[in-house]
Chain A
Amino acid sequence: MRFSVRRRLLTAFLALAAIPLIFTSIVIGWQGYIQSVAHAYEQQLEKASRVAVQAESGMSRFQSELEAAIRYSGFDRAGQDARVRLLRSLLAQRDRYREVAFVDAKGDERIHLSNIHLMPRESHLVDLPIRDVLEDVRRHRHSACGPIFFDPVSNEPHMWLASPVMDVSSGQLIGIVVAEVRLKTVWDLVASLPIAPGEDVFILDGADRVVAHRNPSIVLRETRYTPKDETDAQPGLTGSTVFLATQRFEIGHQGFSVVAQRDREVALQPAMLAIKLQMTVTAVALIGAYLLGHSLARRISRPIVAMAETALAIRDGDLERRAPVDSDDEIGAMALAFNNMTDRLRQHQEHLQEQIAQRTSELSSAKDAAESANRAKGTFLANMSHELRTPLSIIIGMTAVARRSTDNPSLLEQLEKISQASRHLLQIINDVLDISKIEADRLTLEQSTFSLGQTVDNVASMIGHKASEKGVRYCVDLQEGLADLALVGDPLRLAQILLNLASNALKFTDSGSVTVRARIIEDEASEVLLRWEVQDTGIGIAMQDQSRLFTAFEQADGSTTRKYGGTGLGLAISMRLVHLMGGEIGVQSAAGQGSTFWFTVRMSKASEWAGTTELRAGEMSAEDVIRSRHEGARILLAEDEPVNREITKHFLEVAGLSVDLADDGAQAVELARHHRYAVILMDMQMPNMNGTDATMAIRTFSLNIDTPILAMTANAFEEDRQACLAAGMNDHVAKPAEPEVLFAALEKWLDSPAKALSA
């Protein structure tokens, strides 16, 4: 099962647990991230603002101090010595001032005092970049400062600050007091800031130079840095990604920016910790949900799974299986209903089994009855065949004997009519037997090599003289080469089909012709499909009657039987034989326009054909051959029926053979133990010992172990022939035997006694 109920329940449970958990984690994590960013920015902004205030305060103090020293000391009216004293007292603040000077309105340096130079050089100030500052003060009449610079000896930051000295009464510019102030206090301010790991605070001047940093090396290298005016993360002073805030301030027209930054990793550390913890808690919660869900899903699905297993067991036939009823809920109710349904199914099945047993018993009885009836039918047919053939063979035999015993033409004509009537009756019996065998699927085809031309010739020889007598032309039209074609099949049955169709054609044709035609319509390497046509110029068949032609015991109409005779079995037998040969059969006809019966048969090609032992015109008959070659040969004839025995004995003796008679099988066995025979003719149904047992006894112990034994029986079924061969006999001659047939068989086995053993 791809998706079991348990798995679906567990999946649903996990989904219900995971979705809100994950959603909550994402929301909380995102909120934490946003808050951390905002917190970092606010902290940096607060720090930058605080430092900016302190730095601005520290630096502006120089300006206010200088301005106060000038304004409130009467510097404008003071003499040179007083001004020196005033400036010297200012310079006494050695940690704040390095040098101080007074430049008059013309720009000439009047006083220059220094804490670092022994003797300040003249024009020292004008050589410095402070000239721009002085010009600024002179032009705007207010204090100004120059850019921050670093002393190469002390490595400390300094800045020039200049304040105008104005005449109090006239407001004229008297001069400018210039002071080189030490900004180490600002530097110390930055360096002394409490800075956590990952944080940094520094001051940039207007040119984005770092002028104050806790790492003086960064300042002294004149590092430049331009922060972006945004709250998002950006590259910091040292290259790492930071969140930063800036705060600007201005001293004496010089702009400065305080930058406070915090590394992004540090700033987001609380958020990342919270996210990790959230992920851990989420994972633990999901594991808990899985365990809980697994237990619940198992508990819920257990009765369903049990019921499914029960259903599968019941499907496989275990009707004793019942679904467990563990709960008082819908599933329990379903299990109860399922069990009730199973009970009913079981009862129904038992009822069905009883009915089946009853029906089976009835069918078995019916089958036994049918088989019994079939056996009775077979027995009846066999008995009927034997009982009909026995007197018929006597009639035919006696007629033959009588024809050989008289030269009276009138009597011979009468005997001929008796013979023809007997043969007709024999044909009827054979047809009835054939149709019976076919319908009982007991008819099998022989598979032997034969010549197609020979078969057609045999048919022609049997029907040709009748056509001549009737004044109808009998024509054979074979495709070129077909007459010499050797095939594997049953030539007798093929001849039977052709004989049936040709006989019918001749029967319903009073003038004109009957043509037998054969064509190859499929020629393959190993087999051919032949199309046969028997075309006549007879009365034809109405369309409405054609469909009933191939039904047993049917003719075109009732008048046909009365007018033309026949059993109506010929076409039915032909159709079944054609089907057995893998072909089709049909008719093309119209009333008064003749008929063309056609059929196809599929037969295998034979590599060669050994020829025939059939008699040829101009050769000696079998009887003459026997008489000339085997006169006096000793024959044992086992036959219980006296008349048959007398007729056969007569034929044999006429042919010059010596005949010993046995009334039954036992007598035949006894004679065979003491005498050597050239051929033994063995009836099959005899009292005391039948022909089969007698043959086996002779083959076991006698002087005729290798003597050809020919079965003579009225049992004309194929299985009878096979039974004879199985008992050790060599050939089979059906009764009533025609003298020519009997002599042909005798000639064959007298000429080749050695064949007995090999056969």
Chain B
Amino acid sequence: MTAPGMRAMCHRMLLCFALGLPGAVGLLGAVSLPGCGPRQDAPEVKTIAMLRLTDVDLETVKAFKAEMAQLGYAQGEQVRYVEVPPAQTPDKLEGLIRELLTHKPDVILVSSTPAMLSIKRMLGQIPAAIVFAPVNDPLASGIVADLKHPGGQITGVKLPHVDELRLAWLGQVVPSAHRIFLPYTASDKSAIASVERSRDAAHQLGLDLVEYPMLADEDASLAIAAIPADVHAMLIPPESHVESLFPQLLQAAQDRHLPVIAPGEMLVKRGATFSYGASKQDMGRRAAKMIDEILKGIPPGDLPVQTAESRLTINLVAANKIKLKIPDEALQQADMIIRE
């Protein structure tokens, strides 16, 4: 009998199990270990287009990019920006929008009400999410119907209505000022709305507003010529046309030793005495966070329209130029003081 032969055959079978099974079981265990799963695909580079009417919001854009970088969106890696020069005039906006759309943006960051209205008109051709930063009054301009739940593909940051508080701050910063010169563009709805709020506040505060309506393409000369001799301050409304005439108006005010009240800190940096209004940095940061949420999957229409933070900025250099003494209590409440 050749029992060894049979035993050898059995041994061969056992060897197969001895080698094969642990190998298979080991392979099973190996694939179960962390790190053995499939790699996740690299994130897609998102495209953000930017549309501006003027250079007024340049600071907002800078703050926006900085905040995006803080949120982890490295330019060229997670995000790329498509920018075109400011339209300067509303009639050029549509062409710029078409140019931006050729880059198939995921989000369009829009600044100014006219730019946003142009976007709104072309919304059927735009698949991207729209974030405005800022728009003065999105409800009044018809850009959104509900601030809490704008719906659709639009949301953004609106400017705070602080015209009243700005006049109230005038009482603290320049307590002696009672008669204020206010130039504004008569055809700008948001400017008119701002003037109306200032008018009501002045009435409550016992101030006297000297209003000077301007044409949309009017230069500063007539407005400067119209500055009464007995006014104590000049109030710059939050509108792009008057702001574009700021250097001439500022020069005229300084010539008359008039403090200039600006809607934003950018003009304070350029020579206005003080401002109480929306912070462009804050608007940029807010816009960045909203776009971050959108890129993470939240529909734009679910994001309520936010209101930009207001800041009190005082330019002591400008005050000194006109020999204006600003009370310490006011300085203590300022968010930023420009001393040199």
Chain A residues engaging chain B, CB cutoff 8 angstroms: 13, 16-17, 20-21, 24-25, 28, 31-32, 85, 88-89, 91-92, 94-95, 115-116, 118-119, 152-156, 188, 191-192, 195, 197, 214-218, 220-221, 270, 273-274, 277-278, 281-282, 285, 288-289, 292, 296, 300, 327-333
Q: B38: which of A25, A116, A191, A273 is its contact (CB, 8 Å)?
A: A273
A215–B3 contact, CB under 8 A? no
What are 9 pairs between A and B in contact, CB < 8 Å? A17-B17, A21-B21, A21-B28, A156-B306, A220-B149, A273-B37, A281-B24, A289-B20, A300-B9
What's the least CB distance linking A113 to chain B, in Å? 10
Closest-by-CB residue of A relative to B197 is A118
Q: Which residues of B contact A282 (CB under 8 A)?
A: 24, 28
B304–A155 contact, CB under 8 A? yes
What's the least CB distance linking B37 to chain A, in Å? 5
Q: How long is the Cα–Cα vector from A24 to B17 in the complex, in angstroms?
A: 15
Is B27 interfacial (CB-CB < 8 Å)?
A: yes
Given A17-B21, A88-B333, A94-B310, check contact A191 B31 (CB 8 Å): no
Is B95 interfacial (CB-CB < 8 Å)?
A: no
B13–A13 contact, CB under 8 A? yes
Q: B147: which of A32, A155, A327 is its contact (CB, 8 Å)?
A: A155
Q: How long is the Cα–Cα vector from A217 to B305 in the complex, in angstroms?
A: 10
Q: Apart from A21-B21, A217-B303, A281-B28, what 6 extra A-B contacts exist at CB < 8 Å?
A: A20-B21, A195-B296, A214-B298, A274-B32, A274-B36, A285-B20
What's the least CB distance linking B138 to chain A, in Å? 12
Is B204 interfacial (CB-CB < 8 Å)?
A: yes
Q: How long is the Cα–Cα vector from A34 to B310 in the complex, in angstroms?
A: 52
Is B44 interfacial (CB-CB < 8 Å)?
A: no
Closest-by-CB residue of B relative to A220 is B148
For chain B, residues 282 to 318, give those with C-beta under 8 angstroms from any C-beta of chain A. Answer: 289, 293, 296-298, 301-307, 309-312
Q: B34: which of A154, A270, A277, A330 is its contact (CB, 8 Å)?
A: A270
Given A327-B5, A329-B5, check contact A28 B29 (CB 8 Å): yes
A88–B309 contact, CB under 8 A? no
Q: Which residues of A contact B36 (CB under 8 A)?
A: 274, 277
Is B225 interfacial (CB-CB < 8 Å)?
A: no
A191–B289 contact, CB under 8 A? yes
Q: How long is the Cα–Cα vector from A216 to B165 in the complex, in angstroms?
A: 27
B332–A89 contact, CB under 8 A? yes
Is B6 interfacial (CB-CB < 8 Å)?
A: yes
Q: Which residues of A contact B38 (CB under 8 A)?
A: 273
Binary contact track B50-74/A, C-beta < 8 Å → 1, others 0: 0000000000000000000001000
What's the least CB distance linking B36 to chain A, in Å? 8
Q: Which residues of B contact A155 (CB under 8 A)?
A: 147-148, 304-307
Given A25-B28, A192-B289, A273-B37, check contact A154 B306 (CB 8 Å): yes
Q: How long is the Cα–Cα vector from A195 to B297 in the complex, in angstroms?
A: 11
Count of B residues near A, CB < 8 Å?
55
Q: Which residues of A contact B5 (CB under 8 A)?
A: 327-330, 332
A330–B1 contact, CB under 8 A? yes
What's the least CB distance linking A231 to chain B, in Å? 21
A270–B17 contact, CB under 8 A? no
Q: A89: which of B1, B301, B309, B333 is its contact (CB, 8 Å)?
A: B333
A330–B306 contact, CB under 8 A? no
Q: Which residues of B contact A28 (CB under 8 A)?
A: 28-29, 32
B2–A333 contact, CB under 8 A? yes
- When A and B form their complex, which 3 residue pairs have the shortest distance between CB atoms, in order from nearest? A329-B5, A217-B302, A285-B24
What's the least CB distance linking B337 to chain A, in Å? 12
Given A214-B296, A214-B298, check contact A153 B28 (CB 8 Å): no
Q: How long is the Cα–Cα vector from A17 to B21 in the complex, in angstroms?
A: 7
Q: Which residues of A contact B12 (CB under 8 A)?
A: 296
A330–B165 contact, CB under 8 A? no
A217–B304 contact, CB under 8 A? yes
A118–B311 contact, CB under 8 A? no
Closest-by-CB residue of A relative to B164 is A118
Q: Which residues of B contact A289 (CB under 8 A)?
A: 20
Q: How long is the Cα–Cα vector from A296 to B3 in the complex, in angstroms?
A: 18
Q: Which residues of A contact B309 (CB under 8 A)?
A: 94-95
Q: How long is the Cα–Cα vector from A110 to B163 in the complex, in angstroms?
A: 26
What's the least CB distance linking A85 to chain B, in Å? 7
What's the least CB distance linking B84 to chain A, in Å? 30
Is B329 interfacial (CB-CB < 8 Å)?
A: yes
What's the least CB distance linking B203 to chain A, in Å? 11
Closest-by-CB residue of B relative to A182 is B309
B333–A292 contact, CB under 8 A? no
Is B42 interfacial (CB-CB < 8 Å)?
A: no
B311–A94 contact, CB under 8 A? yes
Q: Which residues of A contact B222 (CB under 8 A)?
A: none
Given A88-B329, A214-B293, A215-B302, check contact A118 B2 (CB 8 Å): no
What's the least CB distance linking B208 to chain A, in Å? 17
Q: How long is the Cα–Cα vector from A88 to B164 in the complex, in angstroms?
A: 18
B293–A191 contact, CB under 8 A? yes
What's the least CB distance linking A338 to chain B, in Å? 14
Is B229 interfacial (CB-CB < 8 Å)?
A: no
Given A94-B309, A216-B302, A292-B20, check contact A281 B201 (CB 8 Å): no
Q: How long is the Cα–Cα vector from A17 to B25 in the complex, in angstroms?
A: 11
A270–B37 contact, CB under 8 A? yes
Q: A277: which of B13, B31, B293 is its contact (CB, 8 Å)?
A: B31
Is B335 interfacial (CB-CB < 8 Å)?
A: yes
Is B100 interfacial (CB-CB < 8 Å)?
A: no
Residue among A24, A94, A115, A216 facing the most chain B CB atoms (10 A cut-off)? A216
Q: How long is the Cα–Cα vector from A329 to B6 in the complex, in angstroms?
A: 5
Q: Which residues of A contact B289 (CB under 8 A)?
A: 188, 191-192
